[in-house]
C-alpha cells in the first residue's frame, strides 16, 4: 500500500470532493470529511489500516476550476503540510463552456488548464511524497457527445501531466464507462456530474485500487 504510518493525505478539488465538508479545514469530528468520495476513502483507509494512523483532509470547494486552486494552493495545500495530495479538478473548467456559453470569462481553455495544473504540480512536488491525479469526467457513455469529447480532452491533459511527472493517474472516466455497461447514468447522478452514494463509492474504489489499498 502506498501510504505509510502517520501519513497525511489531502484531497482537493471542486464540488465532487466538497459535499458539505467542514470549514475552514475538512478534518476532525462530526463528519468533517463531508459525504463525498473523500469520506468513503477516509473511512475505508482508517478502518482497514488502523495501525497506520492516517490523516485524511478534504479541501474541496464547489464550483472551483483550476485557476481557483491556484489562488488558494498556498493556504489550502502547502501550508497544511500534507504528505500526499490528491487532485480532482477540470469538470467546471469544461462545464462552463457548455452551461454558460455566453460567458467566455468563465471558460478555461485546454492550454490554460494545462498550464495552471502544471504550475500546481511544480509547486507541490518538492514538499510532498507524491500526488494522485484523478481525471475529470462527464457521465455520458456517448463519446461523440460534445461535452464528453471535450472532457476527454481535459482528461488526456491530466494523464499527460501525471506521466510526465511520474505520478499516479486515476482514470475516472474509464471507470464510469465500465459501470454504465450495467447502470444508466441517471441511476448515479441526475446532472451526470454529481454522484449519489453509489457513485461516490465508485470513485473511492478507483482511488483505493490505485494506491494499493486491498484490505
Total count of residues recorded for the chain = 215
Q: What cell does 174 get?
A: 474509464
Active site residue 191: yes
Strand 130-134 to 168-170 pairing: parallel
Catalytic choice (15, 68, 145, 177): 15
Residue carrying the nine cell digits 486491498:
214
Catalytic choice (76, 93, 194, 202): 194
- Output DSSP code: residue 65: -
15 annotated active-site = yes
| Catalytic residue chosen out of the listed positions 81, 99, 100, 191 | 191
What's the rounded Cα separation, in Å, for the pair 89 and 92?
8
Long-range contacts of 46-50 (CB under 8 A, 24+ apart): 48/213, 48/215, 49/1, 49/3, 49/213, 49/215
> Is 184 among the residues known to form the active site?
no
Active-site positions?
15, 191, 194
Amino acid at each position: 500500500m502506498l501510504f505509510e504510518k502517520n501519513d497525511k493525505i489531502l484531497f482537493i478539488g471542486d464540488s465532487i470532493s466538497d459535499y458539505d465538508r467542514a470549514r475552514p479545514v475538512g478534518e476532525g469530528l462530526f463528519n468533517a470529511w463531508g459525504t463525498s468520495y473523500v469520506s468513503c476513502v477516509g473511512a475505508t483507509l482508517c478502518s482497514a489500516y488502523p495501525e497506520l494512523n492516517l490523516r485524511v483532509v478534504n479541501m474541496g470547494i464547489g464550483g472551483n476550476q483550476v485557476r481557483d486552486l491556484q489562488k488558494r494552493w498556498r493556504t489550502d495545500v502547502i501550508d497544511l503540510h500534507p504528505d500526499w495530495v490528491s487532485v480532482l479538478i477540470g469538470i467546471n473548467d469544461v462545464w462552463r463552456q457548455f452551461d454558460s456559453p455566453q460567458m467566455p470569462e468563465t471558460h478555461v481553455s485546454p492550454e490554460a488548464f494545462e498550464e495552471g495544473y502544471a504550475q500546481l504540480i511544480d509547486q507541490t512536488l518538492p514538499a510532498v511524497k507524491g500526488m494522485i491525479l484523478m481525471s475529470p469526467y462527464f457521465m455520458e457513455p456517448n463519446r461523440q457527445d460534445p461535452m464528453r469529447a471535450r472532457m476527454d480532452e481535459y482528461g488526456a491533459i491530466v494523464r499527460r501531466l501525471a506521466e510526465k511527472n511520474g505520478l499516479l493517474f486515476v482514470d475516472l472516466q474509464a471507470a464510469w464507462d465500465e459501470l454504465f455497461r450495467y447502470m444508466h447514468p441517471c441511476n448515479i447522478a441526475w446532472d451526470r456530474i454529481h454522484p449519489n452514494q453509489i457513485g461516490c463509492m465508485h470513485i473511492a474504489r478507483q482511488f483505493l485500487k490505485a494506491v494499493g489499498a486491498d484490505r
